[in-house]
Structure 1
């Protein structure tokens, strides 16, 4: 399906995704943090066929908007311009670039749920965040294509997707068009299974292996830590309400 894709972020991930989207036959608008003239040459060289524009214009014209900027710059996202839009959150919290933020670094933190809270009028789906930009470029294959492996042909690399239905289905189709097998893993809260320090983060494996890896998240050390922290955060208001009622 031909779409207009708006990419907010003109860095390594943003330009790689722009190239893949152009190759898939989409119109691509890419925006940096300010004047589009500052990234026009970058876009011409690194994402030929895409067009540099402002974040607001990209949001207004796009059928799908991809957030590919540092998470620490979330406040620059034009939230009102994204009302009614399907937004793919490809961001991750990385302290070396984002600085120390307790709201993102705590084990219970779900960064995509945070972004959904910042964009109340949009529908946020987490995808394209757990694979490095080099791998996104190198492993993309056409639909039905196969990646050459040391022992012969192996299935395409897979990208996990977390978010609400039916929007995840549209994102899955887009991921497939970019050159990866989509793996639906659940709602947006399940995006914690794709964040840094999880097994899936950095994974370049096929759909069956990725599905199994995500499924065993609760059994891993990181999974137990994250799920326990999220359960404690959920129980805290409940316990407070019980104590207040008792008083």
Structure 2
């Protein structure tokens, strides 16, 4: 399965390295011309192919959105039709916002299967993964299974927390955001949310 990582900042190259180490082919895209990130890619994720977003996504089996939230609106939704998308983005919405981040992503990328994960772990804490618990949430059980398998293969302990709405547990301000929470904590907080 080819992995497309959109985002060449902090999180994207780490996810690319972990995927490459697990044997996945990886394409990575930043904003604009792929030539702008070739050197970054060679240095931070050797073996990944610097691509345009359209080319990276075209034949990918799994797409990781690791771009800043403010850039999400610049993506062409049609690129993601039929794709499995991992939302690793964060935003800091006002208290009481009607939707979680991934619910907004799923609404905009209506043709994609969206799973929330990896956004609650600081990039500097992702390597080595060492079986660290990571939450994931999604409305499509088959998509969640594929992402859980991917996360396990790259070295994490995936913990299903529920639907995309339950994915708010993984967002800024939650008790597991930015914390080295273990499986019991994830399961406890997910149960309290349901």
> TM-score band, normalised by the shorter chain?
over 0.9
Q: Does 1:161 pair with 2:136?
A: yes
Match among 35, 39, 42 for residue 41 of structure 1: 39
Partner of 1:235: none
Partner of 1:115: 105
Does the aligned pair in 1 maintain the 2:133–2:182 contact within 8 Å?
Answer: yes
Does the aligned pair in 2 maintain the 1:93–1:105 contact within 8 Å?
Answer: no
* Structure 1 segments of 4+ aligned residues over 4 angstroms from their partners: none
Does the aligned pair in 2 maintain the 1:33–1:76 contact within 8 Å?
Answer: no
Structure 1 runs not aligned, ≥5 long: 95-103, 142-155, 219-247
TM-score normalised by L of structure 1: 0.75
Match among 83, 88, 91 for residue 89 of structure 2: 91
**Other structure's SS at 1:39 match:** helix
Match among 170, 176, 181 for residue 152 of structure 2: 176
Match among 187, 199, 205 for residue 163 of structure 2: 187
Partner of 1:131: 121
**If each structure's helix is expressed as a fraction of its own residues, which one has the higher value?**
1
Counterpart Cα distance in 1 of 2:96 and 2:39: 40
- 1:90-119 deviations in whole A, cap 9, x for unaligned? 00004xxxxxxxxx3242331110011110
CA-atom RMSD in angstroms: 1.3
**Other structure's SS at 1:200 match:** coil
Partner of 1:147: none
Structure 2 runs not aligned, ≥5 long: none
Partner of 2:188: 212
Partner of 1:80: 78
Partner of 2:5: 7
Largest Rg, 1 or 2: 1
